[in-house]
Amino acid sequence: MAYIRQSWLCSWVALVLVLVCASLSVAVHGAWHDHYTSAQGMPCCGKRDCVVVRARLLHQNAEETAVEVEGQPYMVPTRSVHASEDMHDWACWAVTDRPNQLLRCLFLAIGT
């Protein structure tokens, strides 16, 4: 009986630790994104609109940046393109009722 109780307690503690770690990773995900804004002055990321992507910078000038995200071309205001802080490319999508999503911000991993 003591073995079952100890086993149950270990399982409970392990579950709690997994949940705490998962909560921290979700909280940390958006932490560095939070202080960035788009060219329109809106926050780059909401709770579920930023995802890791494969992105490639094609061309950039002071006003516009041409990028390829997951193989699709996009023109983004240059002020909406930022350097990634975690060495992953991130795309932050604006939720619209249009068939094509709008790219609100893009974070590019520099030097990878």
Tell me the per-residue pLDDT of 31-47, one tens digit each, with 9 for 90 and over. 788 889 999 898 888 66
**Confidence at 20, pLDDT banded by 50, 70, 90:** very low
Is the dihedral angle over the CA atoms 73, 60, 46, 28 positive or is it negative? positive
CA distance 43 to 31: 12
Cα angle vertex 108, ends 26, 98, to 5°? 75
Q: Which pLDDT score is estimated for 15?
A: 42
CA 34 to chain centre: 10
- pTM equals 0.67
**Exposed e or buried b per residue across 78-91, where buried means at least 16 C-beta atoms within 10 angstroms of its C-beta:** ebbbbebeeeebbb
